[in-house]
Amino acid sequence: MSGGDAIPEFPKSKSGAKAGDGHEVSLTNLSAFASGPGIRSGAEVAAIIAVAVVIIGGIELALRLFNVPHYIMPGPSAIAYALYDEFPLIAPHLGYTLVELVSGFSIGAIIGLVMAAVITQFPFAEKIVAPYILILVTTPMLALVPLLILRFGFGYTPRIIAVALAAGPMVMINAATGFRRVDSAKIALARSYGASTLQIFWKIRAPMALPMILVGLMIGAIFGLLTAVGAEMVGGGFGLGNRLTTYSSMIQMPQFFAVVLILSTLGILIYVLFFLIGKKWASWEA
């Protein structure tokens, strides 16, 4: 009976509708990685390869010309050979790192998604939780690794926890931004057919949040990788991070750079994975 609801935000004019529509808001976020400069023609591919050849060849040439010793900066050829030669030895460590990354990220992402979905349903709870989320997001979770090692030993456990702690909040704040994109007209549409709160969540809010969720998952995965490698560098005898400290302590710089190469490849794969998922499932926004 009492009209307790607030004034609905209808698009008053055409321009107002465009600004307040909600589904263009995160375009900047997503398109930053989704619709960046795409590679289209063979000539462009050729140009990119040519630039790579020139740079790599140039570095190789310069290092040889100036007789730079291997322990200061190994040449690209030496790194490539080390990657080929040492890969059977590095591969298990890549596996360990991937286990930490995938399990930690999955745990963190699920908790982050659920928390985002729940708190955005309760604006009051969100207000109270917000500062703590900010602390979680801004604190480098690496700082907790020594403590986690003290408590859980040198195995997988502290690393997985650290990865989850790093990825979770990233997923959560981005997903929350997505869930907060309320489009009153679309929710009214669902309600006009008698949709339940759950139906509105799954059929309106979740798809609408998906682009932002994907951004969160990508950032979370990258932060997870960072934290996994960092944690491996702090302690424990396995993982790619551990290889970095080991090789550098033994001044095996070609092997060291081979591991760096593997890590950047991992990072790029994460990016490409979410880019492709976004293209498949969230392209309606671009």
Instruction: Specify the amino acid at residue 73.
Output: M
139 vs 196, beta carbon nearer other proteins: 196
Q: Which of residues 163-222 bind other proteins (CB under 8 A)?
A: 185-186, 188-195, 199, 203-204, 207-208, 210
Residue with tokens 């209808």: 10
Judged by CB under 8 A, the residue of 9, 10, 51, 143 near other proteins is 10
| Enclosing H/E stretch for 81 | helix 76-119
192 vs 249, beta carbon nearer other proteins: 192
Judged by CB under 8 A, the residue of 1, 39, 65, 72 near other proteins is 1
66 vs 284, beta carbon nearer other proteins: 284
Number of residues that bind other proteins (CB under 8 A): 33
Instruction: Specify the amino acid at residue 121.
Output: Q
111 vs 185, beta carbon nearer other proteins: 185
Residue 277 beta carbon to other proteins: minimum distance, rounded to whole angstroms? 14
Question: 113 phi and psi, to 5 degrees?
Answer: -65, -45
Residue 217 beta carbon to other proteins: minimum distance, rounded to whole angstroms? 17
102 vs 189, beta carbon nearer other proteins: 189
Measured CA to CA, the distance from residue 200 to residue 9 in angstroms comes to 18
188 vs 250, beta carbon nearer other proteins: 188
User: In sequence order, which residues have a C-beta less than 8 Å from that of residue 286 and are 6 or more positions away?
Assistant: 27, 30, 31, 34, 35
Number of C-beta neighbours around residue 53 at 10 A: 10
**Burial (CB count <10 Å: 0-12, 13-18, 19+), residue 41:** exposed
167 vs 213, beta carbon nearer other proteins: 213
Residue 127 beta carbon to other proteins: minimum distance, rounded to whole angstroms? 16
Number of C-beta neighbours around residue 154 at 10 A: 13
| Sign of the four-CA dihedral 138, 140, 143, 144 | positive
Residue 175 beta carbon to other proteins: minimum distance, rounded to whole angstroms? 16
Q: Which of residues 13-42 bind other proteins (CB under 8 A)?
A: 14, 17, 23
Judged by CB under 8 A, the residue of 29, 136, 224, 285 near other proteins is 285
Q: Which range touches other proteins (CB under 8 A), out of 10-18, 25-33, 117-125, 264-272?
A: 10-18
Alpha helix stretches (DSSP H) within 153-205: 156-179, 184-192, 197-200
Cβ atoms of residues 254 and 73 within 8 Å: no
User: In sequence order, which residues have a C-beta less than 8 Å from that of residue 29 and are 6 or more positions away?
Assistant: 174, 211, 212, 215
Contacts to other proteins by CB under 8 A: 1-8, 10-12, 14, 17, 23, 185-186, 188-195, 199, 203-204, 207-208, 210, 282, 284-285
